[in-house]
Amino acid sequence: MNRPNPSSNPSSSNAEIRKHYFLDQYVIIAPKRNLRPDSFSHASEPHKAPSDHCPFCHNAEPSLWQLPRGKNWRVKVIPNAFAALTTDNPQAFGIQEVVLNTPDHTLEFSELPVEHILEIFTAYRQRLAELKQQPGIRYVLIFKNDGPMAGASVAHAHCQIFGLPLIPPKLEQEGDALNHYWDQHQACAYCHILDWEIQQRTRVITGDKHFIALSPHAASHGFETWLLPRRHVNQFSEFNLSELHSLATILRKITARLDAAGISFNYFLQESLPNQNHHFVLKIEPRITKWAGAELSTGLIINPVTPEYATLWYQGKINR
Ligand SMILES: [Zn+2]
Ligand SMILES: [Zn+2]
């Protein structure tokens, strides 16, 4: 693991190049003196107003799964009406579904009670199990686009599911790096990151006996957060109810902070690749900047928020 330099000063306005814990990936952390979280707000959609045109309020798609059955559902999974990947096209084979988080158009994901988020997790588990056994599907991805900067075309709280006919190369690359780390250290890189960051303290946002939320040392995105189980778990389906409750509680806390500041974000579940022993992580990537020439041409990312600052901001110790 690339051990962060303990002498680095989080309050400094000097830029610093940082390397990812175990990937060949660099970021330029370039904090801005005039930084204010509300300057990253791009909330343009009147999310709080019910919409006559919302496809999710007026969805006519048959439900693939819902809780409970009947008209008064709280969580519902439907086929994606605008799917690019379909099972009847061998040129772009795949499955796309949408998880409607709530029937109420005016509620944000982070405003739902923890018990309701647990029902959304039940939908994740059910669809992961169902899609993974479909012939031709090699990886199932669950993600959320929340807010206009995160690519959410519909404001109504929802998540998306992609059943893919291939292992995404980015995840394969990370999987290779994790396996290489195992070979070198006879240990899981994420387990080591957990130990290291808990010792360091400056990037641990919150946590309980099951999960830790941390802002990674070489975050690509301002206010980026990883939710890591303390237990070395490969798949979402392996979590017990107590662990899921922790995850829901912490995810709600982090997304509520972003929502309150009007910051768009994506989150996604990163499970172990099939037949591998990789550590589950839920990654939250806020979208405060547009990637421009430097990022697009080189993959070298400029992040204007230090992870140490982001940690204090999530903890409510900094308001500007
Ligand atoms: Zn709606
Ligand atoms: Zn691990």
Average confidence (pLDDT) per 10 residues, the chain, 320 residues: 54 81 94 64 58 84 92 95 94 97 95 98 98 97 93 90 97 97 97 98 98 97 97 98 98 97 96 96 93 82 94 89
Q: Are 311 and 10 in contact (CB under 8 A)?
A: no
Domain contains 255:
yes
**One domain for residues 136 and 189:** no
Counting ligands in written order, which one lies closest to the CA of residue 233? 2
**One domain for residues 308 and 217:** yes
Domain contains 53:
no
Task: State the pTM of this model.
Answer: 0.93
Domain contains 36:
yes
CA of residue 134 to ligand 2 center, whole Å: 28
pLDDT of residue 9: 47
CA of residue 30 to ligand 2 center, whole Å: 30
CA of residue 75 to ligand 2 center, whole Å: 31
**One domain for residues 272 and 197:** yes
Counting ligands in written order, which one lies closest to the CA of residue 51? 1
CA of residue 48 to ligand 2 center, whole Å: 40
Counting ligands in written order, which one lies closest to the CA of residue 54? 1
CA of residue 170 to ligand 2 center, whole Å: 19
Q: Are 189 and 22 in contact (CB under 8 A)?
A: yes
Domain contains 22:
yes
Counting ligands in written order, which one lies closest to the CA of residue 193? 2
pLDDT of residue 253: 98
Q: Are 225 and 205 in contact (CB under 8 A)?
A: yes
**One domain for residues 149 and 175:** no
Q: Mind giving me the DSSP string for 41-61?
A: ----S-TTS--TT-TTTT--S
**One domain for residues 215 and 306:** yes
Give the residue from 125, 149, 164 where a domain finishes: 164
Full residue range of the structural domain in which residue 185 is found? 16-42+168-314
CA of residue 107 to ligand 1 center, whole Å: 9
**One domain for residues 193 and 297:** yes
- CATH number for the domain spanning 299: value is 3.30.428.10
Counting ligands in written order, which one lies closest to the CA of residue 156? 1
Q: Which residues pair with 86 in a beta bridge?
A: 93
Which value, to the nearest 10 degrees, does the dihedral of the CA atoms of residues 194, 200, 22, 168 take? Answer: 50
What is the number of structural domains in the chain?
2
pLDDT of residue 95: 98
CA of residue 105 to ligand 2 center, whole Å: 38
How deeply is 96 buried, as exposed, middle or buried, from its count of CB atoms within 10 A (0-12, 13-18, 19+)? middle
